[in-house]
């Protein structure tokens, strides 16, 4: 190469091979040039990555010479790497892949097959990881499936051997990962070793002598095993096996503390009478000693149970190529069985259970419950809408569980499950589901639907309130002296109170914040999904609660403000909580209720304030919230048919093209149509829908609350701006309120009982109620006693909207 | 790909049209569907209820997308007219001639629930936007709203006075169509009846919001996606546009709230549906034609001919190209679920529910992440700390190498020394020899 063969710039393709060669020559360790400092390696990797030297991402314009140059450079690099056995398949991706694959494969397999003492652990771990990455990448090429299968097939045996040997955790971790990769991308290759693999994995799980991460990967592997056969039966069989062994393990764990009836019910559902139980999980090897729980320690037992439950979760949520039969009833029975054990002794068993047994169970019970709740969440996620016939049972169970459970972590989980159910099952759940709990817990409340809702709301509200005062008490104690110290400071009370709390007991605080968040989110889901079904009593309470929570959350200032947060973590947690609170507030304002959102102006103020913290998530959300509220305040019709207006404008900004015969060709016409369509999709409302994670459902507003008149107020693009008077001072006395529905202009005038037809008629006749839209101004108006000041535009293009009445309603 | 399907109550089968041409793409055979009796089940296949006037029994047939003949036949206890399925295609809900409503689970064919909904035959069914509520209209003029959730909650249902959530009695004659708007439990529903009215109800409160009297009986309803207006297909061949949110004036000839109409034929409009763009309205008519209207210009964009017999249903559905082509490939995916049960069978409860687990294949499976970088970083870190055994191993390796090099070096030095020594000795010897020689010679 000529000495003055300069490259154009940093991005020149010709430069890359040269850089790679420099690296190769100067930096890569070899026999003559040993590694001086370990950090050299990282710098090499960093250089490789930042210049994407191995990516071979050749721009189409590249000169052929450069391409071949690069290729040879990469080849040289690979050659060296193979020699030095430090695998770096990291950035390789190309069509030349299959050519290289073979070489690589052999190298790594040879490393894997070496006896455990032979190769360094580093080499083993990195070759496993590299092969795993290779296979992952290979899995993306659909045309190489076959080759991949045969390569992977050769690997399975050594991996299983690695796993069955007593190796260090790092090795078994990557080995499990590699197996998982193979199962995910090349499942057929494991087919031959299916039983062997099951045996080894199960024995590993049951012996429970690895760390949680490895166990998780192993249970993932177990859950993915049926994929190697890929049929319905193997999935169902494994599921049944897992459930049976889970049940056996639970028998010995919960012994003496659960009701016999429940246990029997679950067991009978699992293996129906008259049918053969499935073969034991893990094959013959496990039959004898593994389930002989005599000498197994309690801890091992719990770890195995957790792993099996994790396996259940994975099976329920990971995709499977064919349709399978989910044994929903046994699953629910076993979930019920565990969740209903609360550590107390059933009376019948009191003489037979020792205090030690009880202590044992109670020690592990929260872990069991948490895992079971995970399984329940997985059931909900896996079955989706098919859960409908069982939804009532689940809600009943959860409600019953909530009553006895008081650990924040568990409650958090329960709330999130309820939330998922609420969203997937729809609004009706809100109304009907809570009757049971209302019946149990609020005997005073009659069983009608709204009251039931109130029950739930009260309960949720209580949770939030529960947590609130509890914190208050705890931190008042702590903060008192601090408060005195800081009296000279400009800090306000609540702010001071929060600091010691956030700093001194982060763990405690975090868990309770998580609980608060979960409860808030559940309430939000409740409002979002069931807002329309609510009656004033509990909606009002929720609205009050939401504004209170947000005010409290924001009182201490936004995280952006100068606030002595000691660790970033709590700061992030706090910001999350604020975000959740703001979400909930927006939901409570947007969700339809029978009245004008009572905290609209407060909410607007809070969002405006929040928007000022530029750069934070809070600000981002606040600006979205403001857009959403803008739509609430200026409901707009979305006319497709352009209605002619006196001033020639139409609301959709479109052409006034209606009805007339056109001589356009359909294709031209379609083009026009789509053009229009694009134009309309610019309406911000749609963006809001997407961005705010609300169901579109929620954003609708109830019309027609409790009165007969249903009126239509037309919204026109006009220059008229009416004045609103006297609205704020006596909201309770307003004879009528105008509610604006989202996305529509069907605005109802809601009257109190005493206001009669005539009063309305008089509005229509005497007072031109103008509700115009100059797309940014709106009037929220109309009371019987308030005068209207109408400022008509001078050019008289103002349009009087009509309020008309349906006589026949 | 979006397709338009149409069926007839005369034996003319089901026609399928695709976007690009006016020519019929496919014809599914032997279908005699009553109004509202054609439904796409989750986009996987389509089902149609069958009603033969001669006999008192009916059936429900399944077609897969690429085969002309129905593949699965079910025979419920009574003739089913309207059918509806949820978006995911897990449930199929049918309304019987006796007024019963049937809920089947599609994957297993199990009859999950059956209840007495109306005194007259059920004529139309619709699901609310969030699919938690079922709206049924019947020949007795009633429109009822059911909570699906509550229907499965036996304990609650017993407590409640009646199973339904709302019961709308205002229609005096047979209900011909119901549709639900956007907005979950807070939506509006619109019902049409032979009493020449359409009524707009609030689903949340169960109140009548608007009553619109038309010049003709309305057979079918389609709601504009922005709920600006709804389109009502009348027996006089006109499609009336009735205002929901729109500006209404009393000036139109048709009556209050009716903004205008689309008209092309004098034969009755039997079914209406919007295409996914929300602008093209597809109407089926008794003259056997399917018209695609542009609702902005109120012009006919295209027209398909189905046959001589009246079109009873139009169905617009989205199917993947692969489903249509799977005829050519292996028939692997085309397996249809079993036929629907006649009676509820409680003993099968234990069997569990069939489901596609995580059928959204887009989700990346667990092991999909690249590992090597983490592993390398971990190793380098470990190496730097020099704490672990493996790091020590590496260190030993390195020291060995160094030792080897050192020995080599030593060897080299030694050799050099030897050489030098030899040289020096030789020199000295040579020198002394030379001296000797000198002396001797001297």
pLDDT tens-place string over residues A270-326: 887 777 778 878 765 454 444 554 545 777 888 889 999 999 998 888 888 877 888
CB contact at 8 A, B12 and B308: yes
Its sign, for the CA torsion A332, A338, A344, A347, is positive
Cβ–Cβ gap A184/B365 under 8 Å: yes
Residue bearing the bigger pLDDT, A187 or A701: A187
CB contact at 8 A, A41 and A35: yes
Q: Look at residue B119 in the predicted model and tell me its pLDDT.
A: 92
CB contact at 8 A, B83 and B49: yes
Identify which of A654-658, A790-794, B170-174 has the greatest average pLDDT: B170-174
Tokens of A338: 């565990």
**CA nearest neighbour of A125 among B392, B365, B381, B390:** B390
From chain A residues 407-466, the ones with a CB under 8 A of any chain B CB are 425-429, 431-433, 435-436, 447
The neighbouring-strand residues paired with B93 are: B84, B103
Q: What is the CA radius of gyration of chain B?
A: 40
Cβ–Cβ gap B368/A184 under 8 Å: yes
Surface-to-core class of residue B416, CB atoms within 10 Å of its CB (0-12 exposed, 13-18 middle, 19+ buried): exposed
Pairs across A and B, CB distance < 8 A: 336
Surface-to-core class of residue A413, CB atoms within 10 Å of its CB (0-12 exposed, 13-18 middle, 19+ buried): buried
Residue A530 lies in a domain: yes
The neighbouring-strand residues paired with B283 are: B272, B291
Using a CB–CB cutoff of 8 Å, tell me whether A120 touches chain B: yes
The span from the CA of A583 to the CA of B97, in Å, is: 47
Indicate the residue among A611, A633, A655 that finishes a domain. A633
Residue A212 lies in a domain: no
Indicate the residue among A603, A633, A663 that finishes a domain. A633
Residue A791 lies in a domain: yes
pLDDT at A631 over 60: yes
The span from the CA of B34 to the CA of A203, in Å, is: 60
Tokens of A126: 């990195």
Surface-to-core class of residue A4, CB atoms within 10 Å of its CB (0-12 exposed, 13-18 middle, 19+ buried): exposed
Q: Kindly state whether residues A471 and A611 are assigned to the same domain.
A: yes
Its sign, for the CA torsion B165, B171, B173, B179, is negative
CB contact at 8 A, A428 and B185: yes
Q: Kindly state whether residues A593 and A710 are assigned to the same domain.
A: no
pLDDT at A154 over 90: no
Which chain B residues touch A669 with a CB distance below 8 Å?
A: 294, 297, 299, 301
The minimum CA-CA distance between B427 and chain A, rounded to whole Å, is 37
**Mutation to test the A interface, candidates B376, B382, B396, B404, most A Cβ within 10 Å:** B376
How much is the average pLDDT of A664-688?
39
pLDDT at A646 over 70: no
Q: Look at residue B270 in the predicted model and tell me its pLDDT.
A: 93
DSSP run (H or E) holding A257? none
The span from the CA of A263 to the CA of B302, in Å, is: 65
Cβ–Cβ gap A640/B390 under 8 Å: no
Cβ–Cβ gap A382/B358 under 8 Å: yes
Cβ–Cβ gap B359/A269 under 8 Å: no
The span from the CA of B260 to the CA of A680, in Å, is: 23
How much is the average pLDDT of A322-340?
87
From chain A residues 372-391, the ones with a CB under 8 A of any chain B CB are 382-391
Residue bearing the bigger pLDDT, A722 or B191: B191
Residue bearing the bigger pLDDT, A71 or A146: A146
The neighbouring-strand residues paired with A789 are: A723
Identify which of A93-97, A445-449, B68-72, B341-345 has the greatest average pLDDT: B68-72
Q: Look at residue B416 in the predicted model and tell me its pLDDT.
A: 92
pLDDT grade, residue A552 (50/70/90)? confident
- For B208, the 3-state DSSP assignment is strand
The span from the CA of A97 to the CA of A83, in Å, is: 19
A-chain residue closest to B382, CA distance: A38
3-state secondary structure A383-409: HHHHHHHHHHHHHHHHHHHHHHCCCHH
Cβ–Cβ gap B375/A129 under 8 Å: yes
Phi, psi of A539 (to 5 degrees): -65, -45
The neighbouring-strand residues paired with B240 are: B232, B261
Least confidently predicted of A11-15, A240-244, A272-276, A303-307: A11-15
Q: Kindly state whether residues A623 and A718 are assigned to the same domain.
A: no
Residue bearing the bigger pLDDT, A519 or A45: A519
Least confidently predicted of A375-389, A512-526, B196-210: A512-526
Share of chain A above pLDDT 70, in %: 48
Q: In chain B, what are the helix, strand and coil shares in percent, each to the nearest 5?
A: 20, 35, 40
The span from the CA of A200 to the CA of A186, in Å, is: 19
Q: Look at residue B99 in the predicted model and tell me its pLDDT.
A: 92
Pairing, β B2-8 against β B188-193: unpaired
The span from the CA of A48 to the CA of B376, in Å, is: 14
Which chain B residues touch A392 with a CB distance below 8 Å?
A: 149, 152-156
Q: DSSP states of A64-112 as a string?
A: HHHHHHHHHHHHHHHHHHHHHT----TT--STTHHHHHHHHHHHHHHHH
Q: Tell me which residue has tokens 């990881």.
A: A129
How much is the average pLDDT of A778-782?
36
DSSP run (H or E) holding A370? helix A355-383
Least confidently predicted of A258-267, A496-505, B81-90, B216-225: A496-505
Q: How many CA atoms lie within 13 A of A530 on its CB side?
A: 35
Residue bearing the bigger pLDDT, A54 or A354: A354
pLDDT grade, residue A79 (50/70/90)? low
The minimum CA-CA distance between A567 and chain B, rounded to whole Å, is 25
Cβ–Cβ gap B373/A90 under 8 Å: yes
**CA nearest neighbour of A291 among A203, A175, A210, A371:** A203
Q: Kindly state whether residues A482 and A623 are assigned to the same domain.
A: yes
Using a CB–CB cutoff of 8 Å, tell me whether A527 touches chain B: no
pLDDT grade, residue A434 (50/70/90)? very low
Cβ–Cβ gap B208/A809 under 8 Å: yes
Provide the edge-to-edge strand list for the sheet that holds B175-180: B175-180, B188-193, B197-202, B208-213
CB contact at 8 A, B234 and B219: yes
CB contact at 8 A, A377 and A416: yes
DSSP 8-state assignment for residue A191: G
Looking at chain B, how many residues does it have? Answer: 442
Cβ–Cβ gap A133/B279 under 8 Å: no
Residue A123 lies in a domain: no
How much is the average pLDDT of A385-404?
84
Residue bearing the bigger pLDDT, B233 or A26: B233
The minimum CA-CA distance between B253 and chain A, rounded to whole Å, is 16
Q: What is the pLDDT of residues A586-596, one digit of tens each?
A: 998 988 777 78
Q: Kindly state whether residues A711 and A625 are assigned to the same domain.
A: no
Sequence-distant (≥ 6) Cβ neighbours of residue A793 within 8 angstroms: A718, A719, A720
Q: Kindly state whether residues A708 and A629 are assigned to the same domain.
A: no
Share of chain A above pLDDT 90, in %: 6
DSSP 8-state assignment for residue A320: -
Tokens of A656: 């006034």
Sequence-distant (≥ 6) Cβ neighbours of residue A273 within 8 angstroms: none
Residue A165 lies in a domain: no
Residue A697 lies in a domain: no
Q: Kindly state whether residues A720 and A804 are assigned to the same domain.
A: yes
Which chain A residues touch B154 with a CB distance below 8 Å?
A: 392
Q: Kindly state whether residues A463 and A588 are assigned to the same domain.
A: yes
Identify which of A80-94, A553-567, A773-787, B351-365 has the greatest average pLDDT: A553-567
Cβ–Cβ gap B384/A704 under 8 Å: no
CB contact at 8 A, B164 and B101: no
Q: How many CB atoms lie within 10 A of CB B377?
A: 13
Q: Kindly state whether residues A590 and A733 are assigned to the same domain.
A: no
Domain count for chain A, please give it. Answer: 2
The neighbouring-strand residues paired with B177 are: B192
Question: Please, what is the angle between helix A260-270 and helix A328-339, to 10°?
Answer: 160
Q: Kindly state whether residues A565 and A457 are assigned to the same domain.
A: yes
Q: Kindly state whether residues A725 and A625 are assigned to the same domain.
A: no
Which chain B residues touch A646 with a CB distance below 8 Å?
A: none
Pairing, β B353-355 against β A324-326: antiparallel
The neighbouring-strand residues paired with B101 are: B95, B115
Residue A454 lies in a domain: yes
**CA nearest neighbour of A379 among A367, A390, A368, A369:** A390
Least confidently predicted of A104-118, A607-621, B227-241, B412-426: A104-118
Indicate the residue among A633, A661, A690 that finishes a domain. A633
The neighbouring-strand residues paired with B116 are: B100
Residue B357 has its nearest CB partner, among A318, A531, A666, at A318
Cβ–Cβ gap B372/A42 under 8 Å: no
Q: How many CA atoms lie within 13 A of B398 on its CB side?
A: 15
Range of the domain at A785: 703-809
Residue A402 lies in a domain: no
B-chain residue closest to A138, CA distance: B368
Mean pLDDT, chain A, rounded, equals: 64
CB contact at 8 A, A747 and A771: yes
Its sign, for the CA torsion A701, A702, A707, A710, is positive
Q: Look at residue A82 in the predicted model and tell me its pLDDT.
A: 47
Residue bearing the bigger pLDDT, A46 or A756: A46
pLDDT at A407 over 80: yes
Q: Look at residue A344 in the predicted model and tell me its pLDDT.
A: 80
Cβ–Cβ gap A386/B244 under 8 Å: no
Using a CB–CB cutoff of 8 Å, tell me whether A530 touches chain B: yes
pLDDT grade, residue A63 (50/70/90)? low
The minimum CA-CA distance between A748 and chain B, rounded to whole Å, is 10
Q: Look at residue A72 in the predicted model and tell me its pLDDT.
A: 61
Tokens of B181: 């708007």
Least confidently predicted of A423-427, A566-570, A589-593: A566-570
CB contact at 8 A, A125 and A165: no
- Show the domains of chain B with their CATH numbers: 2-341 (2.130.10.10), 374-441 (no CATH)
3-state secondary structure A487-523: HHCCCCHHHHHHHHHHHHCHHHHHHHHHHHHHHHHHH
Least confidently predicted of A442-446, A476-480, B17-21, B202-206: A442-446
**CA nearest neighbour of A77 among A122, A34, A23:** A23
Q: Which residues of chain B have pLDDT under 70?
A: 53-55, 246-252, 323-334, 345-373, 375-377, 379-391, 394, 442
**CA nearest neighbour of A315 among B350, B365, B370:** B365
Q: How many CB atoms lie within 10 A of CB B402?
A: 11
Q: Tell me which residue has tokens 């590993």.
A: A204
**Mutation to test the A interface, candidates B115, B152, B153, most A Cβ within 10 Å:** B153
Residue B227 has its nearest CB partner, among A325, A529, A744, at A744
pLDDT at A729 over 60: no
Q: Look at residue B216 in the predicted model and tell me its pLDDT.
A: 92
Q: How many CB atoms lie within 10 A of CB A748?
A: 24
| CA torsion, ordered A145, A150, A156, A158, to nearest 10 deg | -140
Q: Kindly state whether residues A588 and A718 are assigned to the same domain.
A: no
DSSP 8-state assignment for residue B434: H
**Mutation to test the B interface, candidates A697, A705, A715, most B Cβ within 10 Å:** A697
């Amino acid at each position: 190469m000529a000495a003055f063969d300069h490259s154009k710039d940093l991005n020149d393709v010709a430069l890359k091979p040269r850089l790679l060669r420099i690296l190769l020559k100067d930096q890569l360790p070899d026999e003559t040039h040993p590694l001086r400092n370990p950090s050299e390696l990282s710098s090499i990797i960093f250089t490789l990555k930042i210049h994407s030297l191995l990516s071979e991402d050749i721009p189409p314009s590249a000169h052929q010479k450069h391409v071949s140059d690069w290729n040879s450079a990469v080849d040289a690099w690979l050659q060296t790497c193979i020699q030095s056995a430090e695998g770096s398949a990291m950035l390789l991706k190309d069509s030349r892949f299959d050519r290289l694959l073979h070489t690589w494969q052999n190298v790594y397999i040879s490393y894997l097959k070496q006896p455990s003492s032979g190769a360094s652990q580093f080499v083993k771990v990195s070759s496993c990881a590299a092969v795993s990455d290779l296979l992952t990448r290979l899995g993306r090429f659909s045309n190489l499936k076959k080759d991949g299968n045969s390569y992977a097939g050769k690997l399975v045996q050594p991996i299983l051997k690695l796993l069955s040997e007593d190796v260090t955790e790092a090795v078994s971790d990557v080995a499990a990962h590699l197996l998982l990769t193979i199962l995910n991308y090349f499942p057929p290759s494991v087919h031959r070793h299916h039983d062997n693999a099951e045996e080894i994995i199960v024995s590993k799980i049951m012996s429970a002598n690895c760390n949680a991460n490895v166990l998780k990967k192993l249970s993932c592997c177990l859950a993915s095993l049926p994929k190697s056969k890929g049929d319905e039966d193997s999935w169902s069989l494994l599921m049944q096996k897992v459930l049976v062994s889970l049940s056996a393990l639970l028998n010995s764990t919960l012994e003496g503390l659960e009701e016999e009836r429940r246990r029997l019910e679950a067991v009978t559902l699992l293996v129906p009478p008259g049918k053969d139980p499935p073969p034991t999980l893990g094959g013959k090897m496990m039959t004898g000693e593994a389930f002989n729980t005599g000498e197994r320690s309690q801890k091992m037992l719990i770890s195995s149970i957790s792993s099996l439950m994790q396996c259940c979760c994975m099976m329920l949520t990971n995709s499977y190529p064919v349709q399978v039969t989910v044994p929903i009833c046994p699953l629910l029975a076993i979930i019920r069985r565990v969740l209903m054990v609360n550590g107390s002794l059933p009376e019948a068993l009191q003489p037979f259970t020792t205090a030690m047994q009880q202590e044992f169970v109670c020690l592990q019970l929260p872990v069991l419950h948490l895992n079971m709740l995970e399984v329940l969440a997985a059931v909900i996620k896996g079955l989706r809408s098919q859960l409908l016939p069982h939804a009532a049972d689940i809600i009943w169970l959860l409600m019953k569980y909530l009553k006895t459970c008081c650990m924040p972590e568990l409650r958090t989980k329960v709330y999130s499950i309820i939330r998922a159910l609420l969203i997937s099952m729809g609004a009706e759940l809100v109304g009907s589901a809570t009757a049971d709990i209302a019946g149990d817990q609020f005997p005073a409340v009659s069983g009608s639907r709204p009251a039931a809702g109130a029950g739930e709301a009260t309960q949720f509200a209580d949770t939030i309130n529960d947590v609130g005062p509890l914190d208050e008490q705890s931190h008042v104690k702590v903060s008192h002296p601090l408060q005195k110290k800081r009296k000279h400071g400009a800090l306000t009370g609540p702010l001071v109170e929060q600091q010691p709390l956030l700093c001194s007991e982060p763990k405690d605080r975090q868990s309770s914040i998580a609980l608060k968040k979960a409860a808030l989110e559940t309430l939000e889901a409740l409002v979002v999904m069931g807002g329309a079904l609510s009656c004033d009593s509990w909606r009002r309470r929720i609205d009050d609660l939401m504004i209170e929570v947000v005010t409290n959350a924001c009182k201490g200032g936004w995280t952006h403000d100068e606030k002595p947060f000691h660790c970033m973590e709590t700061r992030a947690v706090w910001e999350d909580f604020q975000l959740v609170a703001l979400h909930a507030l927006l939901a409570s304002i947007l969700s339809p209720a029978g009245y004008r959102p009572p905290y609209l102006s407060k909410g607007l103020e809070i969002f405006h304030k929040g928007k000022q913290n530029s750069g934070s998530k809070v600000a981002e959300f606040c600006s979205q919230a403001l857009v959403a509220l803008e739509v609430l305040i200026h409901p707009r019709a979305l006319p497709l048919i352009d209605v002619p207006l006196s001033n020639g404008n139409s609301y959709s900004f479109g052409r006034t093209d209606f009805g007339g015969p056109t001589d356009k060709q359909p294709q031209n016409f379609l083009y026009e149509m789509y053009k229009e369509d694009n134009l309309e999709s610019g309406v911000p409302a749609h963006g809001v829908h997407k961005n705010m994670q609300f169901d579109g459902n929620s954003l609708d507003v109830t019309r027609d609350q409790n009165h007969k008149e249903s009126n239509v107020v037309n919204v026109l693009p006009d220059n008229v701006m009416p004045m609103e008077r006297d609205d704020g001072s006596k909201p309770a006395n307003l004879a009528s309120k105008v509610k604006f529905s989202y996305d529509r202009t069907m605005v109802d005038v809601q009257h109190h009982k005493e206001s009669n037809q005539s009063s309305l008629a008089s509005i229509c006749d005497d007072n031109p109620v103008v509700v115009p839209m100059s797309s940014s101004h709106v009037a929220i108006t109309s009371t019987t006693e308030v005068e209207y000041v109408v400022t008509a535009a001078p050019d008289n293009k103002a349009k009087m909207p009509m309020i008309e009445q349906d006589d026949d309603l | 790909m979006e397709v338009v399907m149409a069926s007839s109550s005369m034996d003319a089968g089901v026609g399928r049209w695709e976007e690009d041409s006016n020519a019929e793409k496919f014809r599914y055979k032997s279908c005699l569907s009553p109004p509202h009796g054609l439904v796409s089940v989750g986009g996987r296949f389509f089902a149609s209820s069958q009603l033969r006037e001669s006999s008192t029994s009916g059936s429900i047939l399944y077609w897969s997308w690429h085969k002309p003949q129905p593949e699965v036949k079910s025979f419920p206890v009574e003739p089913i007219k309207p059918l509806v399925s949820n978006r995911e295609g897990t449930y199929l809900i049918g309304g019987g001639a006796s007024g019963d409503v049937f809920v089947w689970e599609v994957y297993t064919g199990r009859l999950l629930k059956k209840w007495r909904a109306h005194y007259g035959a059920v004529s139309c069914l619709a699901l609310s936007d969030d699919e938690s509520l079922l709206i049924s209209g019947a020949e007795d003029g009633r429109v009822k709203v059911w909570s699906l959730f509550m229907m499965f909650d036996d304990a609650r249902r017993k407590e409640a006075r009646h199973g339904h959530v709302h019961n709308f009695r205002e229609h005096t004659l047979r209900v011909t169509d119901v549709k639900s708007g956007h907005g979950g439990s807070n939506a509006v529903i619109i019902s049409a009846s032979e009493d020449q009215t359409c009524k707009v109800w609030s689903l949340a409160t169960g109140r009548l919001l608007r009553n619109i009297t038309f010049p003709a009986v309305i057979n079918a309803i389609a709601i504009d996606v922005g709920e600006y207006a709804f389109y009502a297909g009348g027996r006089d061949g006109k499609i009336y546009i009735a205002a929901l949110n729109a500006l209404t004036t009393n000036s139109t000839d048709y009556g209050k709230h009716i903004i205008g109409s689309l008209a092309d034929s004098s034969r009755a409009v039997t079914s209406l549906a919007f295409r996914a763009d929300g602008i093209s309205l597809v109407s089926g008519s008794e003259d056997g034609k399917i018209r695609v209207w542009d609702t902005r210009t109120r012009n006919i964009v295209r027209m398909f001919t189905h046959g001589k017999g009246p079109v009873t249903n139009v169905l617009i559905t989205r199917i993947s190209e692969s489903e249509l082509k799977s005829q050519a490939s292996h028939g692997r995916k085309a397996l249809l679920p079993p036929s629907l049960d006649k009676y509820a069978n409680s003993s099968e409860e234990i069997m569990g529910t069939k489901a596609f687990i995580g059928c959204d294949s887009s989700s990346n499976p667990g092991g999909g992440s690249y590992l090597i970088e983490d592993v390398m970083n971990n190793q380098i870190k470990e190496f730097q700390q020099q704490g672990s055994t493996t790091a020590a191993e590496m260190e030993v390796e390195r020291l060995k190498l160094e030792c080897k090099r050192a020995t080599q070096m030593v060897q080299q030095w030694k050799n050099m020394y030897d050489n030098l020594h030899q040289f020096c000795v030789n020199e000295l010897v040579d020198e002394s020899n030379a001296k000797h020689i000198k002396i001797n010679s001297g």
